[in-house]
Amino acid sequence: MVYTKPQLFKPPKSNVLTMTPWFAPVIWEGTYNLDILNEQFRQSNMVVGLTVFAIKKYVIFLQKFLETAETYFMVGHRVKYYIFTDRPEAVPNITVKAGRELVPLRVENYPRWQEISMRRMEMISHYSQQRFIHEVDFLVCVDVDMRFSDHVGVEILSEVFGTIHPGFYASERKAFTYERRPNSEAYIPQDEGDFYYAGGFFGGTVAEVYMLTKKCQEAIMADKNKGIEAIWQEESHLNKYFVYHKPTKILSPEYVWDNNLGSPQFLKKKRFLAVPKNHSAVRNK
Ligand code: UD2
């Protein structure tokens, strides 16, 4: 446990927000000491579950996703990859490191991509209650059309965490693409909300992820009964949830980035990157 002592009057970062007004840290490169965090985590002997959906054509993203996760995700820790798919035979047979395991879970598919994306909330909440609670301590829930390109480790873990969407980190509230129709359960009034969070990277303890996904699922079903679908599907419901149940940790856009957005000065790491996709070739296929 030898490391440079923290300096009360020399904060490691002063150009970005590192703490929200409700005392949730915002995770940026340079704000944490990984050796301390790894040591604490190792002593707790915990396991991390990574959930990812690869339904229909999206199985083509699994190879790169899993290979890069082996290189960068929770290195040195115990990991279970929960791969929800309608095509278990298409899950690549990659060799994972000791203490890590691939767990394909066969699930239904739906004709519309929006429905597939939304139904993730239902499936994660169901499996959290039935299975994950007995097998892992934390869940990290991500999109599959992504690749890890730098370290993503235990610094992200907390009771419940969300990630700032790379398209909206500098936006004012009025520019957030929150659901603005009052008859949707995902409705957020103009003068509420903190950040615009990405649907493609959230997590927390199994109990917290269960609550989050269950609430979002109930809201999605209530909307369905009213004949309305939120503007950005489950991402809209996730954003609504986080207005009233504040995340205990916020991941900076280092954790979901898209190279189409360039390389701004403040971004010291690009840890999890969108893989360019031809929408018409993969959606509804
Ligand atoms: C954004 C969000 C995504 C979701 C979506 C809702 C990020 C990085 N992405 O992504 O999380 O909120 O908006 O509109 O924040 N999938 C399949 N098969 C399909 C279709 C989807 O497996 O046929 C899964 C897959 O894991 C995919 C995810 O659903 O990564 C989200 O779908 P998308 O990537 O097409 O949505 P996108 O890019 O608009």
The answer, yes or no, to whether any atom of ligand 1 lies below 6 A from the CB of 132, is no
Residues of the chain with pLDDT under 70: none
What are the φ/ψ torsions at residue 51 (nearest 5 degrees)? -95, 135
- Helix pair angle (233-244, 113-127), 10° resolution: 50
The reply to whether ligand 1 has any atom less than 6 angstroms from the CB of 122 is no
- List residues bridging with 56 in a β-sheet: none
Rounded CA gap, 108 and 48, in Å? 25
122, 229, 235, 254: the catalytic one is 235
What values do phi and psi take at 102, rounded to 5? Answer: -95, 125
CA angle 176, 182, 187 (to 5 degrees): 40
For residue 74, the number of C-alpha atoms closer than 13 Å in the C-beta half-sphere is 25
Q: Does ligand 1 come within 6 angstroms of the Cβ of 54? A: yes
Q: Of ligand 1's atoms, which has the minimum distance to the CA of residue 84?
A: 22
Q: Provide the pLDDT for residue 279.
A: 82
Burial class from Cβ neighbours inside 10 Å (0-12, 13-18, 19+) for residue 247 reads buried
Task: Provide the CA 245 distance to its chain's centre, in angstroms.
Answer: 16
Identify the DSSP state of 275: P
**Ligand 1 binding pocket mutation candidate from 143, 196, 283 (most atoms within 8 A of CB):** 143
- Which of 117, 259, 261 has most ligand 1 atoms within 8 Å of its beta carbon, as the pocket-test mutant? 117
Query: In this structure, which residue's CA is closest to atom 30 in ligand 1?
Result: 143
Cα(233) to ligand 1 centroid in Å equals: 10
195 lines ligand 1 (CB under 6 A): no
pLDDT of residue 281: 77
Cα–Cα nearest to 238, from 198, 284, 277? 198
Please state the pTM of the whole predicted model: 0.97
Is the beta carbon of 255 within 6 A of some atom in ligand 1? no
Supply the pLDDT for residue 75: 98
Query: Which own/partner pairs from 262-271 qualify as long-range (CB within 8 Å, at least 24 positions apart)?
Result: 266/15, 266/16, 268/28, 268/29, 268/30, 269/29, 269/150, 269/151, 270/149, 270/150, 271/72, 271/148, 271/149, 271/150, 271/151, 271/152
Q: Please confirm, yes or no, whether 155 is among the known catalytic residues.
A: no
Task: Kindly state if the Cβ of 235 falls inside 6 Å of ligand 1.
Answer: yes
> Which pLDDT value is given to residue 284?
75
Between the CA of 139 and the centroid of ligand 1 the distance, in Å, is: 18
Q: What is the pLDDT, as a whole number, of residue 282?
A: 84
pLDDT, tens digit (0-9, with 9 covering 90-100), for 117-159: 999 999 999 999 999 999 999 999 999 999 999 999 999 999 9
Distance CA 164, CA 166 (A): 6
- How many whole angstroms from 59 Cα to the centroid of ligand 1? 13
Q: Of 92, 211, 184, 200, which Cα lies nearest the Cα of 147?
A: 200
Write down the residue that tokens 């767990």 correspond to: 103
Dihedral pair phi/psi, residue 29, rounded to 5°: -55, 135
Ligand 1 centroid to Cα of residue 169, in Å, is: 19
